[in-house]
Structure 1
Amino acid sequence: MSSAFTEARAQAADFPAIVSIAPITLPSPGRGVDLHVRVSAPIMGNALPVIIFSHGNGQSLYAYGPLADYWAAHGFVVIQPTHLDSRMLGLAPDDPRRPQLWRFREEDLAAVLDGLDRIESEAPMIRGRLDHSSIAVAGHSWGGQAAGTLLGATHPDPDNGSMVNRKDTRIKAGVLLAAPGSGNDLTEHAARTFPFMYPDFSAMAAPTLIIVGDRDMGRLSTRGPGWWRDAYDLSPSPKALFTAFGGEHALGGIPGYEARETTDERPQRVAAIQRLSTAFLRSSLYPGNPAWADAVATLAADAMPEGSVETK
């Protein structure tokens, strides 16, 4: 067992108790397979805010425990859908749905939002405990782009050139982790493979925390780590940016420790992201709550901080 996993497990032992249920099924005509979601929530508490989380390419509702479990332990109900690109589903390379995976991803998030009453009815552990006026969205990598659309980011539909606008006023705040930047800086291969990846952040006005790693080279852009901060630089306020020092695309292990996506395993980096994201959402969903200001002050006072914060 790795030292990182042991340290993370020791930290998790201090969390309040949570409970999870999966899969909960949302009927999805036209998708080829019904949408499955996982729900995680604290054992105690009422009027709980909600986070809808979109996983990165190939992952599933069972991934991102370091984030989902932490958020649930700190008072959020976390809902994680499994998108069609998941390795769990194993779509064939020639599956006719593949060119539309971006569309299914965005529709999955909308389906979760529209299906909250059904999800609540099928999960007795959360029935009557949700604050339907305090809903956030979050996502990592490709999931970050999908989540950003509910916050107000737009992009062209590669099929007809029309602008895809899925902004939903029920979403009050967001956290985008290693979300793709401007399509103008895609590599030639990425531009061919991901023709939808031309986000426009100019109308993404909802309070959003963007989290990036300063060593996230990726293989999508010609610009290097700076590309991942476009969601912050090219969007209107209020926004915050956390740049993780030494962070690569997995940001220390948010998909899961010892997962193949984690090339920069570091529990301390993940812990900083856990604390900052939780505090940001708490303060954004409940104006006047000092959690974000306190978290930033704590980071600034650290002699060896895991990263830096910018705000606008």
Structure 2
Amino acid sequence: MPTRIPTRHPDQRIAAVKPITVPAPGRDTALQVKVTAPLSGQGLPVIVFSHGNAWSLDGYQPLVDRWAAAGFVVVQPTHLDSRRNGIGWEDPRFATIWRVRIADLHAVLDHLDDILLQVDGLAPRVDRERIAVVGHSWGGQTAGAVLGARVLDADGVPGEDFSHPAVSAGALLAATGTGDSLTPFAVEHLPFMRPDFSTMTTPALVVAGGKDQSQLSTRGPEWFTDAYHLSPSPKSLLAVAEAGHTLGGIAGEMTAETTDEDPARVALVADAVSGYLLDAFALDHAPWAALNDAATTADGAWTLSRK
């Protein structure tokens, strides 16, 4: 398919189709996704989005709608840890959900053609050579694995490579850092939260909040910048000084988890991701360049770093 710059403007009409069932053998519950896309435009790039713990394909509308309006096709799976599945910390299945999450993203990527065909008229408008994975919180670790990060075992030995050849860029939003500073609770319940970013070679944007103090780590908000500092270049870091873990409310307006609700902050995060990916995909360099220029006048409210 020839390269075509997607249609992008604030008033872009978008539509969502759900649920679409994706083949996922061995999964306890059917894997379902939602697809959100602009109603016009050709050569549309794809974002596969991994939600944070307990969320679902119905969350993150402020992000997803803005990405779709910017010309992206967004595919959102519901992972097993969603509230609607009722699998809590003490459930014996919880210990392996991190692997199922990664398998979910692989299933979506492997069956992308079939997914797109279930949305009328969309498949011919999609550029399958430009696919990104993005995740928030636990979804950040899930997406990071698809970008090449590995999980260290109790002896510090890196686990298997879960990267996917179809993915050429990504973004990690409030993604957990290394596992050397986990709280006792996290060590007991989340032993897989030990990412090794040294193998995460795929280009990615890392987004971190300056007020994001995790109850799972003994470190401060800088824990959420590990994916940037400890991974190979090329990487970029958007640090938002006053942002908490939901980065202004990216999971949804007035949700219980949002302690720092700020629609402007959500727009900044959404536009940073779309601008970064458009630049990484060589579709449009202007939005990312404009954001970098704006960083010089942000008065410390947010900063952009690159390596």
Q: Which bin holds the TM-score, normalised by the shorter protein?
A: over 0.9
Gaps of 5+ in 2: 1-8
Match of 2:111 in 1: 115
Mapped to 1, the partners of 2:89 and 2:149 lie a distance apart of 29
User: How far is 1:208 from its partner?
Assistant: 0.6
8 Å CA contact retained: 2:10, 2:70: no
8 Å CA contact retained: 1:201, 1:231: yes
Corresponding position: 1:185 with 2:181: yes
Tell me the amino acid that sits aligned with residue 68 of structure 1.
V
Corresponding position: 1:289 with 2:297: no
Match of 2:40 in 1: 44
Mapped to 2, the partners of 1:219 and 1:32 lie a distance apart of 29
Tell me the amino acid that sits aligned with residue 107 of structure 1.
A
- What does the per-residue CA deviation read over 1:77-109, in whole Å, with 9 as the maximum and x for residues that have no partner? 000000000012223665442221101100000
Matched positions, count: 299
Which of these residues, 31, 47, 53, is aligned with residue 57 of structure 1? 53
Mapped to 2, the partners of 1:124 and 1:306 lie a distance apart of 42
Match of 1:227 in 2: 223
8 Å CA contact retained: 2:158, 2:196: no
SS in 2 for 1:123: coil
User: How far is 1:274 from its partner?
Assistant: 1.6
Tell me the amino acid that sits aligned with residue 34 of structure 1.
A
User: How far is 1:298 from its partner?
Assistant: 2.2
Mapped to 1, the partners of 2:94 and 2:102 lie a distance apart of 14
Q: Which runs of 4+ in 1 moved over 6 A?
A: none
Match of 2:6 in 1: none
8 Å CA contact retained: 2:150, 2:158: no
Match of 2:127 in 1: 131
8 Å CA contact retained: 1:276, 1:296: no
User: How far is 1:218 from its partner?
Assistant: 1.1
8 Å CA contact retained: 2:278, 2:284: no
Which of these residues, 96, 100, 112, is aligned with residue 100 of structure 1? 96
8 Å CA contact retained: 2:81, 2:88: no
Mapped to 2, the partners of 1:196 and 1:224 lie a distance apart of 20
Match of 2:204 in 1: 208
Mapped to 1, the partners of 2:244 and 2:222 lie a distance apart of 12
1:160-179 alignment to 2 at 5 Å? 163-179=159-175
User: How far is 1:27 from its partner?
Assistant: 2.5
Mapped to 1, the partners of 2:105 and 2:45 lie a distance apart of 16
User: How far is 1:64 from its partner?
Assistant: 0.4
Match of 1:8 in 2: none
Mapped to 2, the partners of 1:113 and 1:102 lie a distance apart of 17
Tell me the amino acid that sits aligned with residue 305 of structure 2.
E
User: How far is 1:288 from its partner?
Assistant: 6.9
Corresponding position: 1:218 with 2:224: no
Mapped to 2, the partners of 1:168 and 1:62 lie a distance apart of 25
8 Å CA contact retained: 1:187, 1:220: yes
Change (3 A) 1:92 1:228: closer
Which of these residues, 218, 233, 238, is aligned with residue 237 of structure 1? 233
Change (3 A) 1:288 1:53: closer
TM-score, normalised by the number of residues in structure 1: 0.91
Mapped to 2, the partners of 1:35 and 1:165 lie a distance apart of 22
SS in 2 for 1:24: strand
8 Å CA contact retained: 1:153, 1:203: yes
Change (3 A) 1:218 1:93: closer
Mapped to 2, the partners of 1:94 and 1:276 lie a distance apart of 37
Match of 2:195 in 1: 199
Match of 1:262 in 2: 258
Change (3 A) 1:55 1:92: closer
| Superposition CA RMSD, Å | 2.0
User: How far is 1:275 from its partner?
Assistant: 1.6
Mapped to 1, the partners of 2:289 and 2:66 lie a distance apart of 19
- Identity, in percent, stands at 46
8 Å CA contact retained: 1:15, 1:70: no
Gaps of 5+ in 1: 1-12
